[in-house]
């Protein structure tokens, strides 16, 4: 069979394909996005971007109850949003197999917190598998469907960033078509009201017991006995780090299933070792279980709760060895991410800076407006929180109404901003909400969403009309601005702050990285006119820098958006040819 170098997420998608999965509904989120993007390339699987994770899980559950193998994937914080259907899906169970993927981000490469989603598996009493490389991603995805049907439950897959985004070899197989399971009305199973749910809860507990039993001898829970006195219990990427750091110097218990855990297997493995380490990033999930079953292990007292592990860390802690390094005796300035050259968000933030307002921020590329030199975000919590927290801020003190705004991206607004805006209209605060409508879900790598007029396949789709939506929920002051026009933005927002009514400002211009966006030739600095006042540097465009005391434009980056030209009082920034 053919082998390919796939990232973990692509391998999961391949697993969905081979397992005969028919319906996929997900909301993007790093590091999970490519699963659904890749699945969309298989014509046999119907795929969609859902408006948020709760909708994604419910859509997949509906498909599974109707009899099709179904999937929903998300990042760790997305699972918080989907928690409601997650917990009760454990009670209803499924008809055809259902798999829910959650991708955690230890080290927070692209996230606002570092939560450990394994707790959800335990709390919702759902089985959870954790692969350690791309081949396992594919194999476990297929196995998860089998287990889902065997135990009548959704099964969770947990990835971490390094598994989701690392390429390794995967052997491809064929798709096995799975016929639609017939749907039979069964209200005791699918209608969760107290009387019926009480009976289902008994079934849930029995199922977990049966799964524990299964885990004791499951082929994905493996022991590798190298005749050592030291044992290592691990799962996922930590297994790969341990293999690299420790090789055959230790014995391994690799857990492919992280919930429920096999009590006897762990006890038996540890019994033969003098010292047992638990290697797991984030929380002491396996460690605490080991301790409750009377197995004495070494874990978080020597390892960290924060950030990622590596072979280096394990080598250092377990063997006391470290490789030498070379470094320069100079201060190396950091290189934080920035809004792209020509990003439409930049001009809007500049206008807010001029207005000296407090900004309740949200999650997306525009969160980068928090960084210097713009520095125009005061809060950023979770998707949708900008709008609701502005409402709370204005209720706390109505004087805030004229000097605070919320900024929220188009995808984020659809995800969870709409309900918050309804709160503003319904419970009336004179709030000014700005939707940064760049016609795409930018931060996660440019996915279509319900405002863009296209679906996941790039085919035409119904687009939410934001102006009409605002009117329909009772917001009657709706203004549309072009964020490349600095003065216009400033004037309009000033008026809306002063208005004694809630308002919605739509800052509309597509993301500068979209293929259909036509750019102007790069701008140039006329060095005879430039006096080196650095005024243009205030907008923080990465294409602008200072060379020999004059402003300088990097032709490889500048897209000729003309925002900086509006700041130069000397007319020194001119159109290139």
Partner 1 sequence: METKSIMIVGVGGQGTLLASRLLGNALLSKNYDVKVSEVHGMSQRGGSVVTYVKYGSKVASPIVALGEADLILSFEQLEAARWLPYLKKGGTIITNTQKMDPMPVVMGAAEYPHDILDAIRAKGVNLVAVDALSMAVQAGSAKAVNVALIGVMARNMDLEKQVWKDTIAATVPAKFLEMNEKAFELGYASQGE
Ligand X SMILES: Cc1ncc(C[n+]2csc(CCOP(=O)(O)OP(=O)(O)O)c2C)c(N)n1
Q: Report the interface residues with partner 1, using CB under 8 A.
A: 5, 7, 30-31, 33-34, 109-110, 133, 162, 165-169, 237, 240-241, 243-245, 310-313, 322-340, 365, 368, 371-373, 443-445, 537, 540, 542, 544-546, 554-556
Candidates 72-80, 109-117, 460-468, 538-546 — which segment interacts with ligand SF4 by CB under 6 A? 538-546
> What span, in angstroms and rounded, lies between the C-alpha atoms of 56 and 48?
9
Cβ distance 78 to 103 under 8 Å?
no
Give the nearest distance from C-beta 30 to partner 1 in angstroms: 4
Q: Is residue 63 a contact residue for ligand SF4 (CB under 6 A)?
A: no
Quote the distance between the C-alpha of residue 549 and its chain's center: 42
CB nearer to ligand SF4: give 302 or 514. 514
Nearest to 384 by CA among 418, 355, 428, 342: 418
Residues 6+ apart with CB under 8 A from 271: none
Q: Should residue 559 be labelled a site residue for ligand SF4 when binding is judged by CB under 6 A?
A: yes
What token pair was written down for 134? 């791309």
Candidates 245, 541, 568, 572: give the one binding ligand SF4 (CB under 6 A): 541
- Min dist. Cβ of residue 483 to ligand X (A): 11
Report whether 311 contacts 404 (CB < 8 A): no
Coil/strand/helix, residue 300: coil
In this chain, which of 234, 560, 568, 572 binds ligand SF4, going by CB under 6 A?
A: 560
Q: Which of residues 310-339 bind ligand SF4 (CB under 6 A)?
A: 339
Task: Establish if 489 lies at the interface with ligand SF4 (CB under 6 A).
Answer: no
Residue 397 binds what, of partner 1, ligand SF4, ligand X, none (CB under 5 to 8 Å, by partner type)? none
Q: Return the closest-CA partner of residue 449 out of 417, 478, 421, 481.
A: 417
448, 454 Cβ separation under 8 angstroms: yes
444 binds ligand SF4 (CB under 6 A): no
251 binds, among ligand SF4, ligand X, partner 1, none (CB under 5 to 8 A by kind): none
CB 315 → partner 1: shortest distance, Å?
8
Closer to ligand SF4 by CB, 230 or 513: give it: 513
Residue 93 contact, options ligand SF4, ligand X, partner 1, none, Cβ 5-8 Å cut-off depending on partner type? none
**Partner in contact with 169, chosen from ligand SF4, ligand X, partner 1, none, beta carbon below 5 to 8 Å by kind:** partner 1
523 binds ligand SF4 (CB under 6 A): yes
Q: Which two tokens stand for residue 293?
A: 């079953």
Q: Is 70 in the site for ligand SF4 (CB under 6 A)?
A: no
> Which one, 294 or 576, has the nearer CB to ligand SF4?
576
231 binds, among ligand X, partner 1, ligand SF4, none (CB under 5 to 8 A by kind): none
Q: Which is nearer to ligand X, 141 or 348 (CB)?
A: 348
Residue 17 CB contacts under 8 Å (≥ 6 apart), including other chains: 39, 42, 44, 45, 175
Q: Which does 409 bind (CB under 5 to 8 A by kind): ligand SF4, partner 1, ligand X, none?
A: ligand X
CA–CA gap between residue 111 and residue 244 (Å, rounded): 27
Q: Is the CB of residue 50 less than 8 Å from the CB of residue 82?
A: no
Output the DSSP codes for 116-154: -THHHHHHHT--EE--SSHHHHHHHHHHHHHHHHHHTS-
Check residue 422 for interaction with ligand SF4 (CB under 6 A): no
In this structure, how many other beta carbons lie within 10 angstroms of the beta carbon of residue 563? 23
How far apart are CB 525 and partner 1 at their closest, in Å? 14
Residue 383, contacted partner among ligand SF4, ligand X, partner 1, none, CB below 5-8 A by kind: ligand X
Asked if 553 touches ligand SF4 (CB under 6 A), the answer is yes
310 contact choice in ligand X, partner 1, ligand SF4, none (CB below 5 to 8 Å, kind-dependent): partner 1
- Beta carbon of residue 377, minimum distance to partner 1 (angstroms, whole number): 15
Closest distance between ligand X and the C-beta of residue 416, in Å? 8
> CB neighbours of 346 closer than 8 A, spacing ≥ 6?
339, 369, 374, 483, 539, 540, 541, 563
The structure tokens 């070379």 sit at 326
Least Å distance, CB 53 to ligand X, is: 6
- Taking the complex as a whole, the smallest distance from the CB of residue 338 to ligand SF4 amounts, in Å, to 8
List interacting residues with ligand X (CB under 6 A). Answer: 27-29, 75, 77-78, 81, 363-366, 383, 409-412, 436, 438, 440-444
251 versus 507: smaller Cβ distance to ligand X: 507
Binding at 77: pick from ligand SF4, partner 1, ligand X, none (beta carbon under 5-8 Å per type): ligand X
Residues binding ligand SF4: what is the number (CB under 6 A)? 24
Answer yes or no: are the C-beta atoms of 340 and 387 closer than 8 Å. Answer: no
| Residues 6 or more apart in contact with residue 429 via CB below 8 angstroms | 390, 391, 394, 395, 398, 401, 502
> By CB under 6 A, is residue 504 in contact with ligand SF4?
no
Residue closer to partner 1 by CB (options 30, 36) is 30
Q: Which residues contact 497 (CB under 8 A, 6 or more apart)?
A: 355, 357, 401, 402, 403, 405, 432
Give the distance between the most distant pair of CA atoms in the chain. Answer: 82
Which own/partner pairs from 494-499 qualify as long-range (CB within 8 Å, at least 24 positions apart)? 494/355, 496/432, 497/355, 497/357, 497/401, 497/402, 497/403, 497/405, 497/432, 498/402, 499/430, 499/432
The reply on whether position 407 binds ligand SF4 by CB under 6 A is no
Partner touching 18 among partner 1, ligand X, ligand SF4, none, CB below 5 to 8 Å by kind: none
Q: Could you say which of ligand SF4, partner 1, ligand X, none residue 560 binds, taking C-beta under 5 to 8 angstroms by partner kind?
A: ligand SF4
Q: Which residue has the tokens 């409508």?
A: 437
Least distance from C-beta 309 to ligand X, angstroms? 23
| 33 vs 159: CA distance, rounded Å | 12
User: What DSSP string describes 454-482?
Assistant: B-TTS-B-----HHHHHHHHT--EEEEE-
User: 293: helix, coil or strand?
Assistant: coil
- Scanning 117-125, 463-471, 475-483, 562-570 for contacts with ligand SF4 by CB under 6 A, the matching segment is 562-570
Where does this chain bind ligand SF4 (CB under 6 A)? 339-343, 345, 365, 438, 442, 511-513, 523, 541, 543-544, 553, 558-564
């Amino acid at each position: 069979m053919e082998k390919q170098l796939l990232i973990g997420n692509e391998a999961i998608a391949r697993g969905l394909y081979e397992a005969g999965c028919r319906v996929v509904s997900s909301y993007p989120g790093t590091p999970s996005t490519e699963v659904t993007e890749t699945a969309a390339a298989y014509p046999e699987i119907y795929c969609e971007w859902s408006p948020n994770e709760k909708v994604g899980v419910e859509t997949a559950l509906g498909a599974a109850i109707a009899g099709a193998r179904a999937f929903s994937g998300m990042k760790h914080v997305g699972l918080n949003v989907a928690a409601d259907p997650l917990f009760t899906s454990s009670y209803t169970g499924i008809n055809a197999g259902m798999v829910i993927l959650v991708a955690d981000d230890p080290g927070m490469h692209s996230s606002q917190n570092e939560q450990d989603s394994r707790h959800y598996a335990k709390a919702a009493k759902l089985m959870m598998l954790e692969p350690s490389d791309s081949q396992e991603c594919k194999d476990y995805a297929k196995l998860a469907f089998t287990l889902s049907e065997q135990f009548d439950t959704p099964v969770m897959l947990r990835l971490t960033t390094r598994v989701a985004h690392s390429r390794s070899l995967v052997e491809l197989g064929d798709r096995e078509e799975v016929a639609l399971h017939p749907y039979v009305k069964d209200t005791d199973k699918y209608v969760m009201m107290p009387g019926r749910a009480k009976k289902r809860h008994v079934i849930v507990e029995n199922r977990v017991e049966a799964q524990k039993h299964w885990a004791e001898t499951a082929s994905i829970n493996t022991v590798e006995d190298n005749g050592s006195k030291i044992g290592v219990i691990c799962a996922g990427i930590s297994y790969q780090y341990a293999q690299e750091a420790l090789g055959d110097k230790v014995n391994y218990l690799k857990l492919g299933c992280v919930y429920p855990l096999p009590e006897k297997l762990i006890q038996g493995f540890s019994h033969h070792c003098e010292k047992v380490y638990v290697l797991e990033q984030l929380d002491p999930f396996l460690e605490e279980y080991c301790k409750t079953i009377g197995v004495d292990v070494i874990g978080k007292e020597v390892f960290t709760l924060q950030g990622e592990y590596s072979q280096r860390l394990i080598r250092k802690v377990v063997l006391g060895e470290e490789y030498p390094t070379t470094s320069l005796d100079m201060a190396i300035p950091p290189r934080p991410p920035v809004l792209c050259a020509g990003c439409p968000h930049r001009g809007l933030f500049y206008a807010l800076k001029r207005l000296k307002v407090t900004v309740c921020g949200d999650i997306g590329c525009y969160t980068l407006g928090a960084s210097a030199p713009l520095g125009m975000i005061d809060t950023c919590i979770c998707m949708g929180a900008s709008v609701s927290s502005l409402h709370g801020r204005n209720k706390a003190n109505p004087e805030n109404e004229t000097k605070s705004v919320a900024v929220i991206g188009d995808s984020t607004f659809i995800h969870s901003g709409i309900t918050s805006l309804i709160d503003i209209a319904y419970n009336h605060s004179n709030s000014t909400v700005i939707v940064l409508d760049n016609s795409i879900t930018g931060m996660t790598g440019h996915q279509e969403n319900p405002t863009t007029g296209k679906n996941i396949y790039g085919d035409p789709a119904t687009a939410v009309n934001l102006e009409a939506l605002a009117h329909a929920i009772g917001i009657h002051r709706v203004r549309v601005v072009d964020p490349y026009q600095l003065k216009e933005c400033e004037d309009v927002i000033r008026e809306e702050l002063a208005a004694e009514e809630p308002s919605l400002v739509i800052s509309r211009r597509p993301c500068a990285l979209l293929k259909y966006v036509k750019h102007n030739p790069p701008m140039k600095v006329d060095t005879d006119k430039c006096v080196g006042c650095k005024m243009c540097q205030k907008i923080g465009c990465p294409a602008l820098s200072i060379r020999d005391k004059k402003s300088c434009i990097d032709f490889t980056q500048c897209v000729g958006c003309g925002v900086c030209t509006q700041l130069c009082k000397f007319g020194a920034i001119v159109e290139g040819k």
